[in-house]
Structure 1
Amino acid sequence: MTDLIAYVNANGKRSFADLPMTDVDGVILAQLAYVDFETLVAHHVTGFADLTDPVLMQHVVDLTWNPTANFNLLLALRSSPRFRNIRWHDLVKDTDTAAEKQFCAVTFDLGHDFHYIAYRGTTATLTDWKEDFNMTFMRDIPSQRSALRYYQKMATRHPGTYYLGGHSKGGNLAVFTCLHSRGFLQDRIQQVYSVDGPGTKKPLPVAIQSKVKKFIPQASIIGLLLEPETDYQVVKSNGIGFKQHDPFTWNVRGTGFDTLTTTSRFSQLTQQSVTSWLTQLDNATKQEFLDSLFSILKATHYQDFRDMGANWQTSLRLILKAISDTTPQIRHQWRSVTGQLLTTFVGELTDSVKPQLKLPEVHLPSLPTIKPFTKTK
């Protein structure tokens, strides 16, 4: 069994003409969206063959979720005839804290008028996570609209065939773009790769389903959020728990992934619980709850979860103070919303184990009806 880097080393001498785009290629290029291409372009590095400075290479992966693996991946790509001639261009980064938007995309030229647009997934910033959670109550989020406009511009500027892909939120952006493209713009999309990305809340039309390849690990949580579909491939991962969200933990077999028939019981239980919980909350309640939660986190004055973790004692003290300063209405809302999630989870767990253990009926206490906040002046 191998991983993404071993795949590059094993197949790096094969051209895309010899070995057309594989699922592993699609995941690798999606993962690369986390690399700091802005710095690379500033240093006139626009292709893997130009990666000659190891200090620069380390710098541009420092803020990725897995810096060591990403650095080793870049080393493998620059030495690979399959990948080293790939160029990138048209990097777009757009962060708007007020609009709760964090968007980044880059286009890879694969040669022969084939292009791959990689949408960056969720980073460690508060803005990024808040935008992700906004998917639960908004029809569309700012990054989704930007992703669609970005593809429309690229397809007009650089004619050819397109692959779209992204990890986590980036996968959702790729699917959203394909779903909302029309006419020749949709026809030009060859394949879409969603790498453990959240769903789009509604089933996809058949024409779109045929273009989308979605991969999730067996303990997936993120990839099953807002996902009504079951047309995804479950990949075996050697990670534990949430670490399976990292594609570098996924097992590769040959030129594809080592797949399983189903997700783990915990993954299924979590999906069922969260889906059931979200359907019980109206959009106003979701928005009020999330806004109040993130206002507490912002009270730490840190914009990045990594900074919070590095200064956890100070962060905790500020968070507790911010909680104590909230109104009684907000605290009551939190108890209601979180209590309902716990009740839903326990209910799903009871239904899951009862047939196997022949447990007696369990009647859970009902929680008070959740009402939208009463605004206070």
Structure 2
Amino acid sequence: MFDIISYARKFSKFTFAEKQFNNIDGVIFSQLPYLNYKSLSGPTSLANMTIAEIAQFSHHTWNAKKNYQLLNIMKNSLRYRDVKFLDFTNKFSYGKDQNFSAVSMQINADHYFVGYRGTESNFVDWKEDMNLSFMKEIPSRVEATHYLKDFMNSVSGKVIIGGHSKGGDLATFAFKHIPESLQARITHAYSIDGPTSIKTKHTSIQDRITKLVPQTSLIGIIMDRSKKFQVVRSTADMMEQHNPFTWSVVDGDFEYLPQTDKFSKIVQDSLMTWQKELSPGMKKTFVNSLFRAIDKTGHTSVNEFAKHWKQNVIAITRTAASQPAETRKVWRNFSGKLIKCFITSTGKHAFR
């Protein structure tokens, strides 16, 4: 299959002046925030890194093997080898429900990329994501805006921003909330299967935002009722399609499809209807009680939880049953309304 790694290899001899920055480059750069920046001692470019350093750079990251392959091609590529990693920041707070990571990169003399990391395995990150259902300004959104504003005030060139999953939401939120004078210097923003809508009242920036989702998008449609996204064919199934390394490339661009598939439409429609029927207070009660129950399992990450998922689900069910009557009522309403919305949406889309 021809994918983003194949693309990086095929167009390795073309500079950005010769082949303009495009959607695939946006996806590649949006993948880079997942790298292990703690292994770097300071600003550097891939051309100046050894193979051992690149191995460390991709070690213990999401898609470590694919990241390593991609970085090795980029290191020997005229297109990417001089991209300079300038500044990485990570702010983690259990008390604030915050896990924020961002990196700034210099593409060439007058163009930069600011990338935001997506959701990781730890439950602090997942809880912050779920807080979006009833909070507009989660800590990472606020931090993303500050980071972008501070970085743009420190350089004079044009800027592209982007991120995968939660990182896509942070990129578009920050774009919408920085001063207009800074917005004017952003040439494009990318949301790669990000969970929220890119629709904005700011008509001056709408045309500079691109959202890409796979055909069975289950993450990118969670809080997005719109169809303001482009659909890319993935060779994987279901949740694995969230991985951009599975996205198909043809003739130097992604292989696009006219729309998401029926299952994605059913999930999108049912989730949006479900969320609309729930009050912010009910959402907050459910999310907080759910993560208190998860916390009692002793696991701090999805990976740990998944190793003994049956026992952990039973433990959460028991904890839920012991909650105060009002909280138990919220759990019943949550599950009941979700089932009802899913059945209704299935009937609406199944025979279209």
| Structure of higher CA gyration radius | 1
Q: Tell me whether 299-308 or 26-35 shows the greater mean CA deviation.
A: 299-308
SS of residue in 2 equivalent to 1:309: helix
| Structure 2 unmatched ranges of 5 or more | none
**Which amino acid is 2:234 matched to?**
S
Q: Any residues of structure 2 matched to 1:86-101 within 5 Å, and which?
A: 86-101=83-98
Cα distance in structure 2, aligned partners of 1:273 and 1:226:
11
Q: Any residues of structure 2 matched to 1:247-286 within 5 Å, and which?
A: 247-286=244-283
What is the aligned counterpart of 1:77 among 74, 77, 86? 74
Partner of 2:49: 51
Partner of 1:13: 13
- Give how far 1:314 is off: 6.0
1:23 aligns with 2:23: yes
SS of residue in 1 equivalent to 2:114: strand
SS of residue in 1 equivalent to 2:44: coil
> Are residues 32 and 305 of structure 1, via their aligned partners in 2, closer, same or farther at CA, if it must alter by over 3 Å?
same
> Are residues 321 and 61 of structure 1, via their aligned partners in 2, closer, same or farther at CA, if it must alter by over 3 Å?
farther
SS of residue in 1 equivalent to 2:224: coil
**Which amino acid is 2:231 matched to?**
V
8 Å contact from structure 1 (residues 200, 227) kept in 2: yes
SS of residue in 2 equivalent to 1:224: coil
- Give how far 1:95 is off: 0.6
Superposed CA deviations along residues 170-193 of structure 1, whole A, max 9, x for unmatched, are: 001111111112222000000001
1:349 aligns with 2:342: no
Partner of 1:114: 111
SS of residue in 1 equivalent to 2:323: coil
Partner of 1:38: 38
Aligned residues: 352
RMSD: 1.9
8 Å contact from structure 1 (residues 35, 61) kept in 2: yes
1:330 aligns with 2:324: no
- Give how far 1:57 is off: 3.4
- Give how far 1:143 is off: 0.6
8 Å contact from structure 1 (residues 201, 226) kept in 2: no
Superposition TM-score, scaled by structure 1 size:
0.88
8 Å contact from structure 1 (residues 217, 234) kept in 2: yes
Partner of 1:3: 3
- Give how far 1:316 is off: 4.8
**Which amino acid is 1:268 matched to?**
K
Cα distance in structure 1, aligned partners of 2:203 and 2:91:
32
Superposed CA deviations along residues 104-160 of structure 1, whole A, max 9, x for unmatched, are: 000110112100000001111101111111111112211111111111111111111
Cα distance in structure 1, aligned partners of 2:3 and 2:227:
25
- Give how far 1:312 is off: 4.1
**Which amino acid is 1:13 matched to?**
K
Partner of 1:221: 218
8 Å contact from structure 1 (residues 24, 257) kept in 2: yes
- Give how far 1:62 is off: 3.9
Superposed CA deviations along residues 276-305 of structure 1, whole A, max 9, x for unmatched, are: 000000100000001111111111222111
Partner of 1:190: 187
**Percent identical:** 32
Cα distance in structure 1, aligned partners of 2:323 and 2:55:
43
Q: Any residues of structure 2 matched to 1:194-205 within 5 Å, and which?
A: 194-200=191-197, 203-205=200-202
SS of residue in 1 equivalent to 2:81: coil
> Are residues 57 and 322 of structure 1, via their aligned partners in 2, closer, same or farther at CA, if it must alter by over 3 Å?
farther
- Give how far 1:27 is off: 0.6
**Which amino acid is 1:235 matched to?**
V
Partner of 1:246: 243
| Structure 1 unmatched ranges of 5 or more | 357-377
**Which amino acid is 1:299 matched to?**
K
1:154 aligns with 2:151: yes
**Which amino acid is 1:214 matched to?**
K
8 Å contact from structure 1 (residues 168, 195) kept in 2: yes
Superposition TM-score, scaled by structure 2 size:
0.94
8 Å contact from structure 2 (residues 43, 87) kept in 1: no
Q: Tell me whether 233-242 or 198-207 shows the greater mean CA deviation.
A: 198-207
8 Å contact from structure 2 (residues 231, 256) kept in 1: yes
SS of residue in 1 equivalent to 2:305: helix
